[in-house]
Amino acid sequence: MTTASPSIFTRIIAREIPADIVFENDSIIAFKDIAPQAPVHLLVVPKTEEYANVSELAEGDPALLAEVVAVARQLAAEYSTGEYRLVFNSGSSAGQTVFHVHAHVLSGPMTEGSLGF
């Protein structure tokens, strides 16, 4: 999904906004969340802005979705114990605020007000 103006993630990818980048390849970038909800809270973001949410990504490019999950697993092993939560918010009422598909990798004890279910 293309928006009138670039998403914050597109601006991070373009290096217009700084981020604490922990992983990058040709199709994915990952960085630390600026408002972490757990001791480890990383965002794994496809570099394409074509998909607004995980359902669109799954339908449009399942291989890229599989790569997002693989990168999430790799980062959880690197930055934590390897145990993690992988969260995709889909829609504003579900907590999605940036409509550029992305996964939250959370590990360690959740903080108050975190994404606990």
CATH entry 3.20.20.370 includes domain 8-107: no
Residues in CB range of 82: below 8 A, 6 or more apart: 73, 76
pTM, 2 dp = 0.89
User: Residue ranges per domain, the chain?
Assistant: 8-107
Mean pLDDT of 95-117: 78
pLDDT in tens, 38-78: 999 999 999 999 999 999 999 999 999 999 999 999 999 99
Contact yes or no for 105/31 (Cβ under 8 A)? no
Beta strand segments in the chain, E: 21-24, 28-32, 40-46, 85-87, 103-107
pLDDT of the residue at 117: 39
Q: Rounded to whole angstroms, what are the CA distances from 73 to 35, 92, 98, 115?
A: 21, 26, 22, 19
- Judged against a pLDDT cut of 90, whether residue 5 lies above it is answered with no
Task: Say what the pLDDT of residue 113 is.
Answer: 53
pLDDT band at 108 (very low <50, low <70, confident <90, very high): confident
Per-residue model confidence (pLDDT) at position 1:
46
Distance of CA 5 to the CA centre of its chain: 19
Scan for tokens 């390849």, then name that residue: 25
Residue 102 known to be catalytic: yes
Single out the catalytic residue among 41, 100, 102, 104.
102
